[in-house]
Chains A and B, each alone.
Chain A
C-alpha cells in the first residue's frame, strides 16, 4: 500500500522531533540555562533562532524543551493507554458490578473538562514531573477506557473468547492473549491521538505557569517566558508555539493515516 504524501511528511517531522529529543545533548549548540547573547537578538548565524527574554539561545532551549515536552507527553499517554485499556478490558470480562462501577466513574470524570479538574487538583498537588504525568495519564485514561471497552465488547462475544473461558483460562490470559491482540490496531491509532492531546495539555498547563517548573523548560513554558516580547515585535515566543503546532499537526497526519488503514483492514482482511 502506498503512503500518501501527507502521512509521509507527518512521519518525517514526527521522527525529526523525536530524534532531536533523544539526542538533545549532542544537537543543542548551547546549554539550556546559560545566557549567551543579548536580550532578544534576532536570528543570526551564531543564534539560528535568536535569543530569548534573558539572552539564552532559543534553538537550544527549543531542543531541550522538546525533550521534556515529548517525554512527559509520551509517558502520560502510555500510562493512559495502559491503565485505560486494562480497566476497559477488565470491565468487559468481569461485567456486572465492576463494569457498572468503572463506567459510571469514567462518566463522572468525563462530565467535567479535564483542564478544570487539573486546575482544581493542582491547587494542592506539588507541581513535579511525576505528579503531572500521573495526573494527565489518569485524566486521559478515561477516553482510552471508553474506546477499549467498546472494542472489547465486540471481541468478547467471539467464539474463541468463549472457548478460552470454557477451557478455564484465567482473567489475565483472556485479556492479554485473546482480547488484546485483536483490539490492538484501533488502539494504536488512538495512542497517536492521545499523544497529541497530552502535548497540547502539558503545553497549556505550562503556559498557565502550572506545568513544568523552571529550571526545566518546555514549549508551553517558553511561550509564556517570551510572550511579552511580542508587543515589541520580538517573535521569540512564536518559535515554541510553532514547534507545538507542527508536532501536533504531523502526529495528527500519521494517526489519520493509521486510522484509515485500520478501518479499511476491517472490511477485507487481505488488503
Chain B
C-alpha cells in the first residue's frame, strides 16, 4: 500500500476513536455531578411526581452504561429523541436549522480564506515595514475581542452611525439568494474578523519560515522581484502549513458561530443549543453538542490529512 494512504487511514481511524471518546465525555459531563440529574433540571419547581416523571423520561432508572448505549445507538441511527421542553423531535429541529448554520459558516469561510492569505502574503512581503505593522496591529487587537463584543461594535457602527444593515439576521425559506446574503452580511463580517487574524498571522509565519531557505536566496540573487519570489517559490512550499492552518481556523468557526448566532438572533443550530442550555433541556444539548464536537474533530482530521497529502516527502518516498 502507498505510504500516504496508510498514514491517512491511520489518522482517520484515530479520529473515529477520538470521536467515540468524545461522545463518552459529552455523556459523562452531564452525569458526573453530585446528586440527581432530574432534580438539577427541575430545580426549585421539583415535586415528587414531576421528578419521577422526568426520571422515567430520561431513563434514569437504567444504569448509566445502558443509557449511554441507548443514546449512542440513537445517534448512529439518526433517532435523537424528543426535546424535554416541548416534545418536539430533535432530529427534525436540527435538520431545519443545520442549513442556516452551514450557510453562515460557508459565507464566512469563502470571504476570510482568500483575504487572510492575501493579507498574510502582503505582511510577509513587507515584513517589518509599515504595511506589516498596520496589518499585524489590527489583527492583534481583533484577536483580543470576543465575538459578541466585536458583534455589537459592528452593529452600532453599521446600523446606527452608518445605517446600511439590519441588526437582526433573519432568513427564511423562499428568500432569494441575494436577499439572504444581505441578511447575513453583518454576522459574516464578525466571523471573518474573528478568524482572519489567526489565519493571516500563521500564513505570514509560514511564508517567512520558507523565506529563509537557500533556494529563496538563489531566486533573489538571480534578480526576481520580491513578489515573484514569494509567489513562485515561497508560496508553493508554504501551502501545506497554510492549508492546515486554514482548516483548523474553519474548525474555530464552530465556536464563533454559536455566539454570533445568538448576537444576531439568527435561527440556527448555535442559537438552538444556547437556548436549550438555558432551559436545561438535556437531550437537545447532548445531541447538538455532539454535532458541534464532531464537526470540529472532523475538520481537525481533515487538516491532518491535507498536511500529510501535501507533504512531497511522503508523496514521493525514496
List the interface of chain A (C-beta within 8 A of B): 108-109, 111-113, 115-117, 119-126, 196, 200, 203-204, 207-210, 220, 223, 227, 230-231, 233, 235, 237-238, 241, 244-245, 248-249, 252
| In the complex with contacts A113-B292, A249-B141, A120-B152 CB distance below 8 A | no
Query: Which A residues are in CB contact (< 8 Å) with B300?
Result: 111
Task: Assess the A120–B30 pair: CB atoms within 8 A.
Answer: yes
User: In the assembled complex, which residues on chain B have CB atoms less than 8 Å from the CB atom of A122?
Assistant: 277
User: Could you say which of B37, B141, B147, B153 contacts A124, with CB atoms under 8 Å apart?
Assistant: B37
Interchain CB contact under 8 A, A112 and B146? no
A231–B146 alpha-carbon span in the complex (Å): 20
Complex interface: chain A residues within 8 A of B297 (CB): 111-112
Of all chain A residues, the one with the shortest Cβ separation from B283 is: A123
| Chain A residue contacts of B296, Cβ below 8 A | 111-113, 116
Residue of B147, B152, B285 near A204 (CB, 8 A) is: B147
Determine whether B278 belongs to the interface, using a CB cutoff of 8 Å to chain A.
yes
Q: Could you tell me the distance between the alpha carbons of A121 and B33 in the complex, rounded to whole angstroms?
A: 9
The majority secondary structure among interface residues of chain A is helix
Is B317 part of the binding interface, using a Cβ–Cβ cutoff of 8 Å? no
A109–B22 Cα distance when bound, in Å, is: 8
Q: Are A210 and B144 in contact, with the CB atoms below 8 A?
A: no
B259 at the interface (CB under 8 A from A): yes
Q: B297's closest neighbor in chain A, by CB? A: A111
Contacting A200 at CB < 8 Å: which of B21, B146, B263, B289?
Answer: B146
CA distance A15 to B293 in the complex (A): 38
CA separation between A233 and B263, bound complex, in Å? 16
CB pair A108–B277 under 8 Å, yes or no, is: no
Flag whether B29 is at the interface (Cβ < 8 A). yes
Report the stretch among B111-119, B155-163, B210-218 that lies at the interface: B155-163
7 cross-chain pairs, A with B, having the tightest CB-CB distances, nearest first: A248-B144, A120-B289, A241-B149, A200-B146, A124-B40, A113-B255, A112-B293
Kindly list chain A residues whose C-beta atoms are within 8 Å of the C-beta of B159.
230-231
Instruction: Tell me the count of chain B residues lying within 8 A, CB to CB, of chain A.
Output: 50
B262, CB-defined interface residue at 8 Å: yes
CB-nearest residue of chain B to A219: B149
Smallest distance from the beta carbon of A5 to chain B beta carbons, Å? 13
**Is the beta-carbon distance between B160 and A223 smaller than 8 angstroms?**
no
Give chain B's interface residues, CB within 8 Å of chain A: 18, 21-22, 25-26, 29-30, 33, 37, 40-41, 140-141, 143-149, 152-153, 155-156, 159-160, 167, 252, 254-255, 258-259, 262-263, 273-274, 276-278, 280-282, 285-286, 289, 292-293, 296-297, 300
Q: Kindly name the residue among B155, B252, B263, B277 whose own CB sees the greatest number of chain A CB atoms within 10 A.
A: B277
CB distance from B259 to the nearest CB of A (A): 6
Residues of B within 8 A of A196 (CB): 144
B259 neighbours in A (Cβ, 8 Å): 115, 204, 207-208
Which of chain A's residues have a CB closer than 8 A to the CB of B258? 115-116, 119
Interface centre among B143, B144, B296 (most CB of A within 10 A): B144
Contacts of A249 in B (CB 8 A): 141, 144
Q: Which residues of A contact B141 (CB under 8 A)?
A: 245, 249
23 A-B residue pairings within 8 Å (CB atoms): A108-B25, A111-B18, A111-B296, A111-B300, A113-B254, A117-B29, A120-B26, A120-B30, A121-B29, A121-B30, A123-B276, A123-B286, A124-B30, A124-B280, A124-B282, A200-B146, A208-B259, A227-B263, A238-B153, A241-B149, A241-B153, A244-B145, A248-B144
Other-chain residue from B144, B254, B274 in contact with A252 (beta carbon distance below 8 A): B144
Chain B residues near A119 (CB-CB < 8 A): 258, 273-274, 277, 285, 289
B218 to chain A, nearest CB (A): 30
Least CB distance, B248 to chain A, in whole angstroms: 12
Check B152 against A241 for contact (C-beta < 8 Å). Answer: yes
Asked whether A238 lies within 8 Å of B156 as measured between CB atoms, the reply is: yes
CA distance A13 to B144 in the complex (A): 15
Indicate whether A108 sits within 8 Å of B21 (C-beta atoms), given known contacts A119-B285, A208-B262: yes
A145 smallest CB distance to B (angstroms): 16
* Distance to closest chain B CB from A111 (angstroms): 6
CA distance A119 to B281 in the complex (A): 11
Chain B residues near A223: list those with CB within 8 A.
148-149, 152
Q: Which of A116, A119, A196 has the most CB of B within 10 A?
A: A116
| B30 closest partner in A (C-beta) | A124
Are B146 and A123 within 8 A (Cβ)? no
Contact B285 A123 (CB under 8 A): yes
A112 to B33: give the CA distance in the assembly, Å.
20
Which listed residue (A109, A115, A123, A245) contacts B25, Cβ 8 A? Answer: A109
CB A224 to nearest CB in B, in angstroms, measures 8
In the complex formed, the residue of B with least CB distance to A248 is: B144
CB distance from B20 to the nearest CB of A (A): 11
Asked whether, in the complex, the Cβ of B145 is within 8 Å of the Cβ of A124, the reply is: no
> Would A115 and B255 be within 8 Å (CB), given that A210-B277, A230-B156 are in contact?
yes
